[in-house]
Amino acid sequence: MNLSHIEHIGIAVNSIEEANTFFEEILGLKCYAIEEVKDQKVKTAFFQIGQTKIELLEATSEDSPVAKFIAKRGQGIHHIAFATDDVDASLKEIEEKGVRLIDKVARKGAEGLDIGFLHPKSTFGVLTEICGKRKL
Ligand code: CMX
């Protein structure tokens, strides 16, 4: 497997508008994109810092995974995403090594990337995402 860097860290927030103030006005980062990912029932906001991004996640419905996460655990780090050049191949390899997957094949995430999640119960309580450029 060829993981190159931490692509992003996902942070669950009640309100992107409120959280943006901290990242923009206090930390001085620039929100370069806001995008709704309907499939995941979230609105996302992105900040670039070096090779890595911060992805703010706001639920767009009550049954969103992010709404459930905040109800149970409060706002905070929701997931960590590793970059790879082949998401399907990485997921397959990880599964073969005995890790429980949420996504057996890549699906489309924010920024048009391929994404796939590993189950937090199999990854020491940290929801882990593998993501990379979408294959044509
Ligand atoms: N990190 C760590 N643990 C988590 C978690 C997270 N983000 N989300 C849920 N869990 C834990 C819960 O605390 C719970 O643990 P306990 O049983 O010990 O209480 C357990 O997982 C089950 O949680 P649940 O609330 O009953 O929720 P579900 O089992 O229905 O779903 C999960 C959990 C991880 C399978 C689901 O949230 C999922 O499929 N996530 C991947 C997709 C996603 O999160 N999308 C949003 C972001 C999309 C994006 O970045 O574009």
* Model confidence, pTM: 0.96
Cα-to-centroid distance, 27 and ligand 1 (Å): 28
Q: Which CATH superfamily is domain 3-133 in?
A: 2,3-Dihydroxybiphenyl 1,2-Dioxygenase, domain 1 (3.10.180.10)
Q: Which of 116, 119, 113, 118 is nearest to 88 (CA)?
A: 116
Cα-to-centroid distance, 25 and ligand 1 (Å): 30
Q: Is the CB of residue 37 below 6 angstroms from any atom belonging to ligand 1?
A: yes
What pLDDT does 114 receive?
94
What pLDDT does 136 receive?
60
65-85 pLDDT, tens digit each: 999 999 999 999 999 999 999
